[in-house]
Structure 1
């Protein structure tokens, strides 16, 4: 038994309690004393300090100054035969005597919000709380857990490992919450581990490496309430200046060098002199060097890059010219900042982990730190620089509370399809952890070179809070015009669309202040569908309440070379979804498959009922049912809280009558214009025969115009447009436009004008919302099956006798549409999971009866058989940022590499020791993807049954330097340790993503 196990104990029986001046004091039979603070309605703090020192303000991220003692003073305590019950507002905090567990009971709901399963566990360096977990309780938070937003059945680490790919953790946030609407914020900066049912499906096991148990319990009636209370403790999200929503460029214009290249080289860039160049790190090869203002050669300068964006018709909003270089000439930086400002571009500075020496023109800072002291100092310096303007700081990491100081901006390696779904889920996880302002560099940093990945990455990131490129870190240029003219045009169109949606995005940033995430998982808008809480929809997100984005996440193509999209889920069978670009309408509550999207077309859907303000009171409406939108605006840089305006628009469609109301604008700011025109563009399916417009209850005479030109010159009137588009930048890609009723109102005082519009005989989406009719003439399928030869851990193939062109398949209660032929493979399934199915034939709007249920269980995840906790040693030094532990951490996003190379005389020797004698099946060497400068090409393998004495396993192996995994069969091998020797590699180092050893499956059952 270890010393830690001897010291570890549970909290003993509750033996006494006292009410002090601002807290309750609880005494336990094991000698501990705890304090309970009642800070506000639904915010409680439980603080247990074994040393009994109780430093109430030990936290660096919790602000207690805003709380008074009123809720504590109003609380009442009573003792029963077995419990202490503290009553506050509608909550009962029930402390059981033996065992010493706590329950929080909500009298309004008549149920417990949370219950401890067993007493808190304590040791000299660790504390653990175990909560009861309910079957339909899902868990969120924990910071940016790359690749995940929903944690039920998983263990997450509360740490920062700086791994940007799947399984990495970029922000250390000891805060989680459940859909049952309770949350916890552990008041500690130590690392931890949260087990949400992986070890015990009935328990959430919450551990931190701290001797203190200091936690805040947060209770509310919605996720918004929980996040708002988290912000009350740690600070509201930063309100950025408007330019932060524009396109950014981060580069190194101080030490980057260029050498002549050729057009045929994938990483070659053509410059203004008509020649091609590639980046180099060898000064002997370089004939061009970057600079800020053209001190070397102008075309390689930061000024030239600003010019280039302008020449390519990309509006650049902000630029960082010194990425990864701390030293710079202040005079040259000032000169560059002035030049950027003259082009309406904001210039900022990069800093490693200290406050930089800012120049007078510096408008923002990008940093690698989350240290509150440094960030506070950065903000003070920027405030002094900017006078009344809002400071802006980007950071590539974060802790609890950093949302009030920074926007999270990072770059992964790039050039990999897997990065897209990983980042979508990670962004959602960050949003649910209180960090709504987030973005990642388009196409990553050092990787790249795949135009299709780059274009698809730019498209979906145009719908995220931050959009920027991070250049000069690898072989490939990352600008939005780095590829051919076709790709450049697509990127330009998406940037212009983002600019159109700026008022919508800015409104979402306002709403983030009160707990509404900007990027939202589907369950926040559609909480009654269980699928929306699960990883099945982790590759999709809502941008606010109105837009659903489902990025292209793989390179699969149809016969025409278009991206093929399967598993696209649109929620709620009562909701109509409209393709943003072509206007096609879809019924919600089902999964769509076999959709095709050309390169310009991202799957983006407008929710029925949506209202958009495109700026300057130019509204677009997609009527369905009753909906409301409040838009916000300010001058973009001053104090927003007291200097902004808000406008409410409501739309109500009942039967064929549509009523739209625009209330008078509330508020003011110093450049606000009270006189404004109003334009409405109302999507519809046909000509409505009645229009009434009232302003302040007075009917306005509205003239109808018959052509686009006459309507364009009119001050007031309406026009039925059968060729309407509010995104002209995409008109080049499609001939068919949409239909809209356009209404134009002359200038009026919008702070004193209530506008009411009634449209009769209005139709939009009526046919879409009609459900399929069961036809008795279509016989029910009687032979659909799952092909037993095509079952894997993540896929199943269904086959059926073809009777109609299309079928629908219900999978675990969810309808899948768009399936044709006689077979279909479902991808992206969960391992070792039962999938129950039914199938029916489809003929136009008629369907057959369902087949009898059938189904199958996916195979177990191969990673279940991977050996964990391997002790690895090496005879060579590893790179600091790519340590040896990354080689066996079972995270493919991390990479290990050596400092030096190998030779026949001095081979690399890697020894892998297991915790016990293992029956092995195979070993896999996973090469790194960024390049192939460190692939082993001559290798030997040895085995050991005692961990000390090794013997060769087979002959020396020769491996190709490529992206394929290198598999060594180890069937019937027993080993306590394995050794790999690398005699030759493809480059000056040895590198890998992972080495995985698998045990035999029969020994893991």
Structure 2
């Protein structure tokens, strides 16, 4: 403990007494504190220490404990030993050490502790610290939507909502984390915090909050789903959105957006129905048209016209917000909402107040995720919708908001980094109890890069919500904003999403009970350590059947196709199938040098997957034994008591495939109790001996020989050698999959059990054959790492070419798809040792491994950046873009002046370090969207004492563009630096970051 710690806070003293009260155990400590221990349920414990001894249950509004009873508390048995108090409850022992005052949760069933405190709590005025032991292979998750990260071992995360939507920002404030050791912890506080999962000390996790009350819930579970379900038991289950929410959405501004005439050659110009091109403008003098809800100004610029435009281009629009952050006229909005409803579109309203001033809306969009605001909005929707399911969308969140709202937000478009950042952030949100989260396709402002926009639309078609947020920047964000080819691709992915809606809707229902929708790989494959790490943070499982690996950069091959390296497919016993081409891959390895044309997103079906594309049209990818339960309701009603569940199983044992479709359980208003059933079973060869049983009675099936005759048949089967269930993509490739298709006539779905048996079945058996080591195939000699090309994130390997293809094992992970005599590994971790082996490959034969070799990646540039730099300015900063953002080392935050820049009054930025630093350079990162407010003439001054400054060279002249501005400071010592802006490219001054780098001798 540092001296500063000692002055500001103290350790919890030894346990000196304990007693069992009516609802809790009361614990007394020698330093005067009193704590209460509650046993709420099996594996849910609460430790509540209030220095004021008031124990106000309303000190936080994040929890609801009305559903818990006193049953397990009453059954618990305390006993004292010479050094501790032990409370036995179920399979758990809660052990409170006497001196020091430490808590341990021990699992009798597993014979090991789930959670152990490393040292006593530290308490002070407005602060509290908890220290937990951290195991070597223990990984941590949670903390809300932490942009760019889902796995936190070795990191420090902030518990706050900073509204920064890019990398390093935190969209939601969730004081909840959990460990793969089988415990979670939820801190019942609305105060900001900081969680250090081994960054300062790899053996200790430090949990701190800016609050003296320590009120923590400890959650024990054997699986992540169990821990998340217990978190929901305290804070509320996630919403089950109405079914229309899964369709395509559009958020636009039809109140203040103005349009000016333009030409086709202008990049951001949009073609309208009158045959002319227009661009958005903020200058009324340039405008020739203005947005409106119903065409009150000019119809083609109205919200109604946007609905027409979507439908005319065959993009069925499902929901729409037309008043981006603006008030509306009641009559105009009601008229628009009625028109939208007639077109099959649900209208929502964006408001910060209780939206009782307009009628016709079905959902609410808000910037306020507080329990009070969400509760009010829910009550308004309940009254308005007459018991139908409401929907609230917020652009931020906190613990408990998941029970009332979904999180959606916008970002800067036209940016590859945002895709990578959001993939990891969405995974992390699901692991934090926020399963329904999405962001606008291609962001809100910025944009203009068609390749990024289309890759963003593709992967977001596999997220819980899919929507565009328009009219906030220069470029249109609709899925038809670019050329015809791009439009056709986006239309195909929307069609695919519609087919996957029954699967996605079932996943959203499963989320009620702890199962994330977008899943980290370890949730399905927990025994592979790689799945807990950053190496796989750019891919995810959608449920348990689809692996999605978004394109996250602009790297291309010689044909202009996207180049994909470092794609990991889990489990060496698992077969993975490309969703679009049907190509099969063996799991348990990383694939490299994959090539994907613009229409093709890397999406893989897990062997054994079963899909329902709607109306009992099932698709099977047989492999091993699998089971799925499809959920359905009418999309609006009380889903808990009004829904159906249909269980489907598939079992491939040897060459015998058995499929069972069980009777549908449950009911809801409007359901079809009778229906046909179709089965589409992917296979490699014609399967002889089809047997079909209906309620254990064999029925005779007729075989059809052509697509046309089978299409007109009511019942029968057809072996299709040119099969495709994704006909939207047939325009981009030849159909080359084979499937056995079975049709069954209409029957009662609630009373009918279907069993299909195929005794001579084969699908993917050749894929699962592992490589054979051939002693005649010479092993590689002298492979090596090119030390001249080592960077913080990449290593280049060279070897004498013997075969066309090689495999490289790097830190125990097998890499496939490597050809030639040289390969560069990207996306590596800085300052990390990589041990490699290489072997030659010829068909399914491989050589012996080479001798191990390797190298250490360089330190990341950020390691040399000076942290905690204080900055002052003579200009006031905008409230939403504070000056502190300029030195927070987050490239996603942005500083901007509030007052207009005056050349007669140069802007000064004075940066102060904690000590005299030996520098190498200063880097200024311009802001993202436009370059109207970039510094274009600056001067620099150096100070050794923080008081006296001396000029450093002449004025620097910078271009107003997106390139970082670098000023060399090699061998310069400074305690402070002053940057003076003499000219700006616009009326304000803005910037994303100013970073000062130490000399590289810092780590010598």
Contact 1:354 1:369 in 2 (8 A): no
Q: Secondary structure at the match of 1:120?
A: strand
Q: Does 2:344 match 1:344?
A: yes
Alignment of 1:321-340 (within 5 A): 321-325=322-326, 327-340=327-340
| Offset, 1:444 | 0.1
- Post-superposition shift, 1:4? 7.0
Deviation of the 1:344 alpha carbon? 0.5
Q: Does 1:82 align with 2:77?
A: no
- Displacement after TM superposition at 1:180 (Å): 1.1
Q: Does the 8 A contact of 1:902 with 1:983 survive in 2? A: no
TM-superposed deviation, 1:359: 2.6
Q: Superposed, which structure 2 residues align to 1:764-803 within 5 Å?
A: 764-803=763-802
**SS of equivalent to 1:109:** coil
1:891 corresponds in structure 2 to 890
Q: Verify the 8 A CA contact 2:355 2:380 in the aligned structure 1.
A: no
Residues 646-665 of structure 1: pairs in structure 2 closer than 5 A: 646-665=645-664
Q: Name the residue aligned to 1:762.
A: 761
The answer to whether structure 1 residue 200 and structure 2 residue 201 are counterparts is: yes
| CA-CA distance at 1:958 after TM superposition | 1.4
Give the C-alpha shift of residue 72 in structure 1.
0.3
Checking the alignment, whether the CA contact within 8 Å between 1:902 and 1:982 is kept in structure 2 is no
State the alpha-carbon separation in 2 of the partners of residues 916 and 44 from structure 1.
46
Contact kept? 2:724, 2:735, Cα under 8 Å: no
Are the equivalent residues in 2 in contact too, given 1:592–1:818 (CA < 8 A)? yes
Q: Does 1:905 align with 2:909?
A: no
Say whether residues 1:365 and 2:336 are aligned partners: no
> Matched residues in 2 for 1:263 and 1:631: separation?
48
Secondary structure at the aligned position of 1:690 is classed as coil
Deviations 1:206-242 (Å, cap 9, x if unpaired)? 0000010000000011000000000000000001100
Which secondary structure does the structure 1 equivalent of 2:979 belong to?
A: strand
- 1:1001 shift after superposition: 2.2
Q: Tell me if structure 1 keeps the 8 A contact 2:94–2:104.
A: yes
Cα deviation digits, residues 728-782 of structure 1 (max 9, x gap): 1100001133100000001111111111110021000011000111111111111
Do the aligned residues in 2 keep the contact of 1:644 with 1:667 (CA within 8 Å)?
A: yes
CA distance in 2, matches of 1:101, 1:39: 21
The answer as to whether partners of 2:412 and 2:443 remain within 8 angstroms in 1 is yes
Verify the 8 A CA contact 1:923 1:997 in the aligned structure 2: yes
> Using the alignment, how far apart are the partners of 1:407 and 1:271 within structure 2?
33
Name 1:143's counterpart in structure 2.
144
User: In the TM superposition, what is the alpha-carbon distance from 1:903 to its structure 2 partner?
Assistant: 5.1
Residue 238 of structure 1 corresponds to which residue in structure 2?
239
Matched, 1:445 2:440: no
Please give the secondary structure, in 2, of the residue aligned with 1:421.
helix
Listed as ranges, the matches of 1:375-414 within 5 Å are 375-414=374-413
Q: How does 1:69-468 map to 2 (within 5 A)?
A: 69-325=70-326, 327-351=327-351, 353-468=352-467
1:349, 1:358 within 8 Å by CA — same for their partners in 2? no
Distance 1:236 1:193 in 2: 25
Could you tell me how far 1:937 is from its partner in structure 2? 1.6
Q: How far apart are residue 506 of structure 1 and its match?
A: 0.4
Contact 1:4/1:123, CA 8 A, preserved across alignment: no
Find the counterpart in structure 2 of residue 547 from structure 1.
Answer: 546
Measured in 1, the distance between the counterparts of 2:319 and 2:903 equals 51
Q: Aligned partners of 2:421 and 2:850: how far apart in 1?
A: 36
Distance between the aligned counterparts of 1:743 and 1:465, measured in 2?
31
Task: Show CA shifts across 1:375-434 (max 9, x none).
Answer: 111111111111121010000000100000001111111210000010000001110000
- Aligned mates of 2:641, 2:600 — CA distance in 1: 40
**2: CA distance, partners of 1:170 / 1:356:** 24
The more displaced of 459-468 and 688-697 is 688-697
Structure 1 SS opposite 2:64? coil
Describe the superposition over 1:508-563 as per-residue Cα deviations: whole angstroms up to 9, x where unpaired. 01100000000000000000000000011000000000000000000011111110
Q: Which residue of 2 aligns with 1:588?
A: 587
1: CA distance between counterparts of 2:359 and 2:277? 36
Tell me if structure 2 keeps the 8 A contact 1:243–1:317: yes
5+ long unaligned stretches in structure 1: none
The answer for the alignment partner of 1:29 in structure 2 is 30
- Give the secondary-structure state (helix, strand or coil) at the position aligned to 1:295: coil
Q: Work out the CA distance in 2 between the residues paired with 1:89 and 1:878.
A: 56
> 1:904: Cα distance to partner?
4.4
Q: Contact between 1:103 and 1:114, CA under 8 Å: does it hold in 2?
A: yes
SS state at 2:416 partner: coil
Question: 1:973, 1:665 → 2: CA distance?
Answer: 75
In structure 2, distance between residues paired with 1:333 and 1:1004: 62
Q: 1:358 to 1:634 in 2, by over 3 A?
A: farther
Q: What is the DSSP-based 3-state SS (H/G/I as helix, E as strand, rest coil) of the residue aligned with 1:501? A: helix
1:933·1:988 contact (CA, 8 Å) conserved in 2? yes
Other-structure match for 1:814: 813
Could you tell me whether the CA contact under 8 Å between 1:4 and 1:124 is conserved in 2?
no
Shift of 1:5: 4.1
In structure 2, C-alpha distance between the alignment counterparts of 1:329 and 1:88, rounded to whole Å: 59
Q: What does 1:620-769 correspond to in 2, within 5 Å?
A: 620-769=619-768
Question: What are the Cα deviations for residues 97-142 of structure 1, in whole angstroms up to 9, with x where unaligned?
Answer: 0000011100000000000000000001100000000000000000
CA distance in 2 between partners of 1:7 and 1:204 (Å): 20
Q: CA deviation at 1:865?
A: 1.1
1:425-461 per-residue CA deviation (whole Å, 9 max, x = no partner) reads 0001110000001110000001100000000000000
State how far apart, in whole Å, the 2-side matches of 1:507 and 1:783 are: 53
Distance 2:55 2:884 in 1: 37
Structure 2 partner of 1:986:
985
Q: Distance in 2 between matches of 1:281 and 1:902?
A: 20
For residues 6 and 309 of structure 2, the distance between their equivalents in structure 1, rounded to whole angstroms, comes to: 64
Moved more, 949-958 or 475-484: 949-958
Is the counterpart of residue 47 in structure 1 residue 40 in structure 2? no
Deviation at 1:7? 4.1
Q: Distance in 2 between matches of 1:810 and 1:222?
A: 31
How far apart are the structure 1 equivalents of 2:725 and 2:895?
49
- 1 CA distance for matches of 2:720 and 2:357? 53
Instruction: For 2:484 and 2:132, locate their aligned partners in 1 and report how far apart those are by CA, in whole Å.
Output: 57
Q: How many residues get paired?
A: 1003
Match of 2:834 in 1: 835
Q: CA RMSD in A?
A: 1.0
2:860 corresponds to: 861
Q: 1:603 offset after TM fit, Å?
A: 0.3
1:613 paired residue number? 612
Q: Distance in 2 between matches of 1:737 and 1:676?
A: 30
Q: Distance in 2 between matches of 1:854 and 1:267?
A: 51
> How big is each residue's C-alpha offset from its partner over 1:974-1002, in whole Å with a ceiling of 9 and x where there is no partner?
11100111111222222111000011122
